[in-house]
Amino acid sequence: MTKFLSDNAAAVHPAVWDAMRAADHADNPYDGDALSAEMDARFTDLFGRECAALWVATGTAANCLALGTMCAPHGGVVCHEESHIEVDEGGAPGFFLHGAKLIHVLGTGAKLAPDEIARTIDPIRDDVHQVQPHAISITQASEYGRSYSPAELKALAAFAKERRLGLHMDGARFANSAAFLGGSAQDAAQAACGGVDSLAFGFIKNGGMNAEAVILFDPEAANHVRYRRKRAGHLQCKGRYLAAQILGMLEGDVWLTNAAHANAAAQEIALGCGERLMHPVEANELFVRLSASEREALRETGFEFYDWGEDAARFVSAWNTRDEDAVALGKAIAAL
């Protein structure tokens, strides 16, 4: 069986194992160790602007801790109605934000744009009876594998600033967008990040084991997250193993190489999809129109994947997808 179910359960990259092993000696507990202390500098270098970087074990925690710095319990977070925080995090934002509201916006390819956001929030009466927006959350790459361009991010940041809203980026597949946008590690990271206030930088789907980075471009926000991370039971005493995973993937740009590989596999598959593609492939996910019988045929050939509604399927490539498997899948779809 060749799995295209998701990248979220793939094996761990050798560089990550090596980095964890290298951390296997006594050091200070929690985030007092040498590796955790190194993170701020490494990400500041990558993004070319001052930031704080904290490890947590899941993307859900990363998103919610970051959003907690910009949305009060009585406020709201603008997000796409199909965003992961709305649909797939088991109500975690409601928990971490103490009951704050998610305000749903539409948008092609699960992407948000200022005009659509304005269409939703402008009618909100400026009174205490209606929950006021405090922040915007976007997903890079989006839930449909679309990447925001630097121009789109610039427009969103300007809009957020004008409306005095925080701007957060759920970057569970941030690396895939960075690789899609291209350039050196620094260029790619900065292009994919734009001017957001915070970023949940995903490593797990991209070869890590259980470490994501919360990136905060406001130092005061970082202090907030430090207290809330502990309070949420997310401060691990052997945190150095999480820092090691992240630093191990930054070292030698493993994060970018892995993502580029997954993206390339997705493009291979896309070659066979033609008009079946529901969205442009701008990361490592494909949404493909396939009838029930076509999906059955593909599965009998040995491919694993999720149904997407009744007439489509989702395929996800990963850092360790074999080229030949991607090619084979593309051909199999083309042959349907």
Q: Judged by CB under 8 A, does residue 87 bind its own copies? A: yes
User: Who's near 105: CB < 8 A, 6+ residues apart?
Assistant: 78, 79, 80, 81, 112, 116, 117, 119, 120
Q: Which listed range, 71-79, 191-199, 264-272, 290-298, lies at the site for its own copies (CB under 8 A)?
A: 71-79
Q: Judged by CB under 8 A, does residue 96 bind its own copies? A: yes
Cα 162 from Cα 318, distance rounded (Å): 38
User: Who's near 38: CB < 8 A, 6+ residues apart?
Assistant: 243, 247
Residue closer to its own copies, measured from CB, 131 or 155: 131
DSSP 87-153: HSSTTHHHHHTTTPEEEEE--GGG---HHHHHHHHTTS-SSTTSPEEEEEEEESS-TTS----HHHH
**One of 53, 204, 222, 249 touching its own copies (CB under 8 A):** 204
First to last CA, the chain: 19
Cα 213 from Cα 309, distance rounded (Å): 32
Residue closer to its own copies, measured from CB, 89 or 152: 89
* Contact track, its own copies, 210-229, x by CB under 8 A: x---------------xxxx
Residue closer to its own copies, measured from CB, 47 or 174: 174
Residue closer to its own copies, measured from CB, 74 or 163: 74
Q: Judged by CB under 8 A, does residue 300 bind its own copies? A: no
Burial degree of 332 (CB within 10 A; 0-12, 13-18, 19+): middle
Shortest distance in whole angstroms from residue 248 CB to its own copies: 15
Q: Judged by CB under 8 A, does residue 82 bind its own copies? A: no
Q: Which listed range, 11-19, 152-160, 258-266, 282-290, lies at the site for its own copies (CB under 8 A)?
A: 11-19
Q: Provide the token pair at 255.
A: 């994060």
Residues within the interface to its own copies (CB under 8 A): 3, 5-6, 8-12, 17, 21, 24-29, 33, 56-58, 60-62, 64, 73-74, 76, 87-101, 128-132, 204-205, 209-210, 226-238, 240-242
